[in-house]
């Protein structure tokens, strides 16, 4: 059973790694490190674990760990009597991602409202043939979706800030 979990975890590390490469503009090894840390959770991951599991050299892992720390995507803690560093995801990384999503959605909302206003004006003033008038339903539905999604993500953000759950 343990072998299946390991295979499943590593397959997910690869899938999440590819996603993080694109979303976060990370190097492939850095993305895999971040994915492995995310999937290991709050118990943390040691440097030695990453070298072994991710099959990369010590210098490569070290370089990317330093880069991820510089980006504030990960942090580490130590345990009393243990000289190892245990790397975990920085909670602020998720909060920053949520903030970027909210900002992007707000921009989307604003542009759709402007487009809708323009089309309404065209419908009232310039377009006389009803068959040629703009249908504004999409913009109404899209703005409603963005507002609901934003509210939901803001609620998630508050839970993260108030430590209602751990990543």
Extract the tokens encoding 83.
């000289």
Exposed/middle/buried for residue 37 (C-beta within 10 Å: 0-12, 13-18, 19+)? buried
> How many domains, the chain?
2
Judge whether residue 118 has pLDDT over 80. yes
Judge whether residue 49 has pLDDT over 70. yes
Express each pLDDT in 130-144 by its tens digit: 889 999 999 999 999
Instruction: Find the domain containing 67 and state its range.
Output: 2-89
Residue 154 CA from chain centroid, whole number: 14
Query: What pTM does this model have?
Result: 0.73
As a whole number, mean pLDDT of residues 113-123 equals: 95
pLDDT at 1: 43
Extract the tokens encoding 37.
């840390």
Judge whether residue 46 has pLDDT over 50. yes
Question: Does residue 82 sit in the same domain as residue 27?
Answer: yes
State the alpha helices, DSSP H only, in the chain.
2-24, 28-40, 47-54, 58-70, 91-125, 137-161
Strand partners, 118: none
Question: Does residue 63 sit in the same domain as residue 124?
Answer: no
Question: Does residue 48 sit in the same domain as residue 80?
Answer: yes
Question: Does residue 122 sit in the same domain as residue 150?
Answer: yes
What is the Cα–Cα distance from 118 to 102, expressed in whole angstroms?
Answer: 24
């Amino acid at each position: 059973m343990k072998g299946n979990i390991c295979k499943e975890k590593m397959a997910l590390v690869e899938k999440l790694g590819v996603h993080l490469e694109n979303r976060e503009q990370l190097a492939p090894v850095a993305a895999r490190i971040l994915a492995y840390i995310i999937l290991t959770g709050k118990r943390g991951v040691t440097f030695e674990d990453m070298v072994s599991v991710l099959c990369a050299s010590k210098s490569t892992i070290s370089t990317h760990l330093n880069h991820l720390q510089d980006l504030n995507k990960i942090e580490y803690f130590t345990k009393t009597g243990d000289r190892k560093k245990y790397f975990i995801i920085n909670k602020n990384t998720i909060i920053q991602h949520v903030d970027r999503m909210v900002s992007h959605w707000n921009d989307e909302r604003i542009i759709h409202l402007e487009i809708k206003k323009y089309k309404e004006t065209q419908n009232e003033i310039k377009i006389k043939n009803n068959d040629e008038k703009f249908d504004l339903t999409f913009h109404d539905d899209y703005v409603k979706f963005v507002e609901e999604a934003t509210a939901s993500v803001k609620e998630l953000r508050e839970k993260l800030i108030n430590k209602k759950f751990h990543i």
